[in-house]
Amino acid sequence: MIRFLILFTLALSLQFCTYSQSTKKMNMDSTNKNNPVYSNTDSTTVNLTDAEWKKILPSDVYQVARQKGTERPWSSPLENVKDKGTYYCAVCGNALFISDTKFESGCGWPSFYQPVSKGSIIYEPDHSYGTKRTEVMCGRCKSHLGHVFDDGPPPTGLRYCINGVVLDFKKAQEAEKNYTGKKD
């Protein structure tokens, strides 16, 4: 009976998401020359129209970030990354999470217990699918990232369940080189 309840709860929680069926191989760093607003250092708010976003974002990123979609669980290569570094918004380059706050939640998406700063994430109530949960968005470009739940580990007790397709990851050494402008 307990196993049934656990399986039922897990199945129900997965029903809360819509799945993107993209078969594209995901990039760990989606920065490209077609995105004029992407920056790891600029903190100004980005306000583009839906049509402008559609022109500059890859379709899988656009579907999740701008249409509030969800990638398939266990489809993100970022879920298994254990390197030290920083996770950025794949849409605008805003720093979102550091690797020290990442943990294995078993939910199928990269999970973190704390954002880089209070301003890096914004929150919005989400009552879709007859549920009550909290959507998290990038604090710079307001792109949909995922949701936050109150079942995470200490010290915050929070679980930021984030779609990997809207994250870029830069290893700590790469980020330092970019910051200082040093070459190998």
Residues labelled catalytic: 161
Place of tokens 């990269």: 110
Task: Assign 3-class secondary structure to the chain.
Answer: CHHHHHHHHHHHHHHCCCCECCCCCCCCCCCCCCCCCCCCCCCCCCCCCHHHHHHHCCHHHHHHHCCCCCECCCCCHHHHCCCCEEEEECCCCCEEEEHHHEECCCCCCCEECCCCCHHHEEEEEECHHHCCEEEEEECCCCCEEEEEECCCCCCCCCEEEECHHHEEEEEHHHHHHHHHCCCC
Strand-strand pairing, 121-126 and 111-112: unpaired
- Residue-level length of the chain: 184
The amino acid present at 1, given as its one-letter code, is: M
